[in-house]
Amino acid sequence: MGELDLREKKLLSKNDVFAAFLTAFVIDRDETPISTDELSEASPDLISMMDRHVNHQFRDVIKCLRDDVGIKIALFGLENQTRPAKDMPIRIMSYDAFGYKELSKQAKSGEKLIPVITVVLYFGYDKPWTAPRSLSECCDVPKRLKRWFVDYPIHIVELGWLTDEEIDRLEGDLKMIALCLRHFRDPKR
């Protein structure tokens, strides 16, 4: 794991930065902003057994979002990327599936699960995200099987390619990073 990746994780693990991200990109503008009090830590470790082998994955950052009385309402994961990755939809699908598997183990009989939502935060500025944004872009699905194929789209926020309006919705460190990435991409701005 590179030093840049560790810095990104450290920054995004701060509740104020994470809350600012959710407020800017996840909730509707007319909704009340997410506060730091609504966020709590969740384990980034994903461990499962597959074919008698232990599979261990680590999420970059994951937080539990709670409502105003402290009830869990969602798990939000952020995955940092500095380069487009062709397997990103598969990785995100795997992270989310492991999250749901863990939630289902903890759920009481008849209890519904909270949603697991993952967003890729792309720090690249030399080119926009060019890798697949859905499972269907990773697969060659024959036309006659398409109606049976379950696609899995992913959410990508390209920090260096945000519009002025999107940057205005940001605040603090994340806004400064977006402005710097845009300046690296286009020094005239």
Encode pLDDT of 133-181 as tens digits. Answer: 999 999 999 999 999 999 999 999 999 999 999 999 998 889 999 999 9
* Model confidence at 65: pLDDT above 80: yes
* Model confidence at 122: pLDDT above 60: yes
Q: Are strands 53-58 and 61-66 parallel, antiparallel or unpaired?
A: unpaired
Q: What's the rounded Cα separation, in Å, for the pair 75 and 61?
A: 10
CA 123, 125, 129, 131 dihedral sign is: negative
- C-alpha dihedral (11, 16, 18, 20), degrees to nearest 10: -120
Regarding predicted confidence, which is higher, 188 or 76? 76
Q: What's the rounded Cα separation, in Å, for the pair 16 and 1?
A: 24
> What length does the chain have?
189
* Model confidence at 53: pLDDT above 80: no
Q: Which residues pair with 63 in a beta bridge?
A: 41, 76
How confident is the model at residue 70, as a pLDDT? 82
How confident is the model at residue 68, as a pLDDT? 79
How confident is the model at residue 58, as a pLDDT? 79
Q: What's the rounded Cα separation, in Å, for the pair 38 and 129?
A: 31
Residue 46's pLDDT band (cuts 50, 70, 90): low
Smallest Cα–Cα separation from 12: which of 121, 112, 167?
A: 121
Average pLDDT for 33-41: 90
**Could you say which DSSP state residue 69 is in?**
T
**Could you say which DSSP state residue 51 is in?**
T
Encode pLDDT of 88-119 as tens digits. Answer: 999 999 999 989 988 998 899 989 999 999 99
**Could you say which DSSP state residue 134 is in?**
B
SS3 content of the chain, % helix, strand, coil (to 5): 40, 25, 35
How confident is the model at residue 10, as a pLDDT? 85
Q: What's the rounded Cα separation, in Å, for the pair 81 and 127?
A: 13
Encode pLDDT of 4-30 as tens digits. Answer: 667 888 888 899 999 999 999 998 888
Rounded to 5°, angle at Cα 19 from 15 and 25 = 145
Q: What is the pTM of this model?
A: 0.86
